[in-house]
Structure 1
Amino acid sequence: MKVGLFIPCYVDQFYPKVAIATLELLERLGIDVYYPVNQTCCGQPMANAGFEHLSDKNNKLFIHNFTGFDYIVSPSGSCSLHIKDHLHTRGDDSAAAAIRSRVMELTEFLTDVVQVRSLTSRFHFKVGLHQSCHGQRGLAIAQMSELVAKPFSKSESLLKMVGGLELISLDRKDECCGFGGTFCISEEAVSVKMGKDRIADHIQHDADFITGSDMSCLMHLDGILRRQKSKVRVVHIAEILNAQ
């Protein structure tokens, strides 16, 4: 299995430890991982702002970088979903279609393809799981609580394999954090209030850490936690699954 590692631009710039943890975790599981060094932004910010037509060069570069892999794996649900739904090229779209069918978020890949059943990782803390909207409602990484259906969470299942980790219960386990990409800029007050509510649920249940599969959401929550001078910290799920 040949896997291309897709690292979102904000992870590359602000949270390189998440990228390293993702790489190390995949290699520890015996995956043959490659990192195309010329990759840049996938184009999601332009699309979110209504300028998807300006991301044509991003699309072409992404296709050039990631053609030929069995799977393309990313530690970001939102960026993975953007590629799945919006990667296109004018004219012949066959190369883009092949990419769209092979891109996967990390926990989705570990659960559905690698089919991880046990982990050697250890993390001796109380952890609250934030299930981001893109992963949950776009990629079906977890069941939505508003549906009358059997509950599941791929991220939660993986966390339960980590030695010493206590996964706390939340009152509203799938509530949006308020980040929403450009939403946190255009609707700052609403975004912050939603983030504060999300954090309060974790603090009320004594979380030491808040984790998730989207560092963008965790970045939003981390900013609020820092302003509140809270002892609660954020950590990407890849860092927990890779912890020894």
Structure 2
Amino acid sequence: MDKKVELFIPCFMDQLYPETAFNTIKLLSYAGCDVTYNSEQTCCGQPAYNAGFWDEAQEVGASFLESFTGEQYIVSPSASCTGMVKKGYNDLFTQAQGHTNCRSVQQHIYEISDFLVNVLKRDYFGAELVGTAVYHDSCAALRDCKIKSEPRQLLSKVGGLEIVDMEGQEVCCGFGGTFAVKFEGISAAMAEQKVKSAQAVQADYIISTDASCLLQLKAYIDKHDIPIKTMHLVDVLTSGWANI
């Protein structure tokens, strides 16, 4: 029997990486899930929350919670937004009374690599991508969602792809939402450090489960015309599907 999944697509991906969102549906469907998407879903409130505007974040978060039943799996191709719901909502919605749905949503929401490996118990999807890659551990995935081995397990089954470690593997890329705006110089230097670490191991690709990190790194790569491509984990796992 197919697992019913409610899809949560973050604003960032909706506006800048819609193809990754469609690939998420393809991947989950291929994995045997019955996927539904509520087009009325809103931002989870993370930008306001991180900026210290908790009242506004709570208002946005309340609208977000109305978009999901809290009775089925909720899957997102973003560790950052998943982490916000799992942890940030503990600050915004503190009273049990009136926030039952919040607690249920928190219990049912998963970042996609976590869901594929730990819920569906699947790690092979027939993907093919030739080259050498490094996996960037986003801060949210590593620290908020405790995700580390899952993306690597999935990538290890991609035909033609070699995953190598780089120096500063768990160091932030410098995005950090508003951090990149408030501290532009520091942010750019952190992106430079990450990209140079990837260059040092001759990586063709930098892969991550957070599109925001990839945008940060791609900006530096494009500015300096560096021959490295950034890819979301979902896009890698659906690569080479033309013959399937």
TM-score, scaled relative to structure 2: 0.92
In the alignment, the residues of structure 1 paired with residue 237 and residue 210 of structure 2 have an alpha-carbon distance, to the nearest angstrom, of 14
Alignment equivalent of 1:188, drawn from 184, 189, 193: 184
Match runs of 1:42-191 below 5 Å: 42-87=44-89, 88-89=92-93, 91-142=97-148, 153-191=149-187
Equivalent residue letter for 1:214: D
Q: Does 1:234 align with 2:233?
A: no
C-alpha separation between the residues in 2 aligned to 1:130 and 1:169?
9
Letter of the structure 2 residue corresponding to residue 75 of structure 1: P
Report if aligned partners of 2:70, 2:102 keep a CA contact under 8 Å in 1: no
Question: Quick one: percent identity of the two aligned structures?
Answer: 35
CA distance in 2, matches of 1:84, 1:169: 29
- Displacement of 1:133 in angstroms is 0.8
Deviation at 1:57, TM superposition (A): 3.0
Among candidates 37, 40, 43, match of residue 41 of structure 1: 43
Distance in structure 2 (CA, Å) of the matches to 1:50 and 1:222: 28
Once residues 203 and 17 of structure 2 are traced to their aligned partners in structure 1, the CA distance between those partners, rounded to angstroms, is 22
Measured in 2, the distance between the counterparts of 1:41 and 1:223 equals 24
- 1:147 is matched with which residue? none
What 5-or-longer segments of structure 2 have no aligned partner? none
| Structure 2 counterparts to residues 7-46 of structure 1, below 5 A | 7-46=9-48
* Matches of 1:213 and 1:69, distance apart in 2: 25
Q: 1:205 maps to what in 2?
A: 201
2:133 aligned partner, one-letter code: V
CA distance in structure 2 between the partners assigned to 1:40 and 1:62 by the alignment: 5
Using the TM superposition, give the Cα deviation of residue 117 of structure 1 relative to its aligned residue in structure 2, in angstroms.
3.9
- Kindly state the Cα deviation for residue 170 of structure 1 after the two structures are TM-superposed: 1.1
Contact residue 5 and residue 33 of structure 2 kept, 8 A: yes
C-alpha deviation, 1:68, in angstroms: 4.4
C-alpha offsets along residues 62-94 of structure 1, whole Å, 9 cap, x if unaligned? 221111442111111110000111335465111
Aligned length: 234
Deviation at 1:4, TM superposition (A): 0.7
> Is the CA contact (8 Å cut-off) linking 1:3 and 1:69 kept in structure 2?
no
8 A Cα contact 1:67 1:95, kept in partner: yes
Say which is worse superposed, 221-230 or 67-76, in terms of deviation: 67-76
- Which letter maps to 2:113? T
Secondary structure of the residue that 1:123 maps to in structure 2? strand
Gaps of 5+ in 1: 143-152
**Segment drifting more, 36-45 vs 90-99:** 90-99
Give the SS at the match of 2:197. helix
Shift in Å at residue 137 of structure 1? 1.1
What code does the residue aligned with 2:204 have?
Answer: D
TM-score, normalising length from structure 1? Answer: 0.92
Say which is worse superposed, 57-66 or 73-82, in terms of deviation. Answer: 57-66
Report the equivalent of 1:150: none
